[in-house]
Amino acid sequence: MLQELAGAVISCKRDTVLAAVEKAKGELEPSEIIEKGLAAGMNQVGVLFERGKLFLPHVMMAADAMAAGVAALKELMPEGASSSKLGVIVNGTVEGDVHDIGKSIVSTMLQSAGFEVYDIGRDVPVKNFIQKAKEVNADMIGISALMTTTLQGQRDIIELLKEEGMRDKVKVMIGGAPATQAWADKIGADCYAENASEAVAKAKELLL
């Protein structure tokens, strides 16, 4: 079943992904379908792209198909108990970076775990992270970067938080394929998470 889901993303066909998700719905947890099935397929698309076996239009189609698959699962994921929010999190992808599939999965899973999540999108200027955090009185900022060239944006957001005197009040969680624990330590982030389930576990650790 997981292989079928991954294979559907690699096929780059929206209908194939939706059919595979429909089939898997009754048997697997939505988080498992997303992380172990669809995301695994997307990672494979990345490998095939790097090897020159797939081209950018394929990657865009696969990304679109995967997003449709995730959207079809959203209704199955609990919204989180609205009366007892675990904490407020602003989550976005840094400026100059349009990759948002992984970031959106992280937002969805944090939300369904009971956090109040403000997903501010992709290609987001540094100052917008800070503005939104102030506006909603955030406990944590999540920052995604998918390219080595945009990783610096994570450091810039932490630096601006310090300048604004907000660093003690707001935790910072970073993620995205090129991010690592060593990078998180270097830039002074509170934590790094490799995937959405780990992001939920670490957010709970830091905020509860």
Binding site for ligand B12 (CB under 6 A): 35, 39, 42-43, 45-46, 49-50, 56, 59-60, 63, 91, 96-103, 105-106, 142-144, 146-149, 173-178, 193, 195-196, 199
What gap in Å lies between CA 66 and CA 13, rounded to an integer?
A: 9
Q: State in angstroms the smallest separation of the CB of 177 from ligand B12.
A: 4
Closer Cβ to ligand B12, 71 or 98, answer by number = 98
Q: Whose Cβ is closer to ligand B12: residue 127's or residue 145's?
A: 145
Q: Which two tokens stand for residue 171?
A: 């935790």
Report the nearest approach of ligand B12 to the CB of residue 83 (Å): 25
Residue 163 burial by Cβ neighbours in a 10 Å radius (0-12, 13-18, 19+): exposed
Q: With contact defined as beta carbons under 8 Å apart, do 150 and 118 qualify?
A: no
CB of 30 to ligand B12, least distance (A): 13
- Residue at 100: amino acid letter: D
Of 5 and 45, CB closest to ligand B12: 45
Closest to ligand B12 by CB, 28 vs 83, is: 28
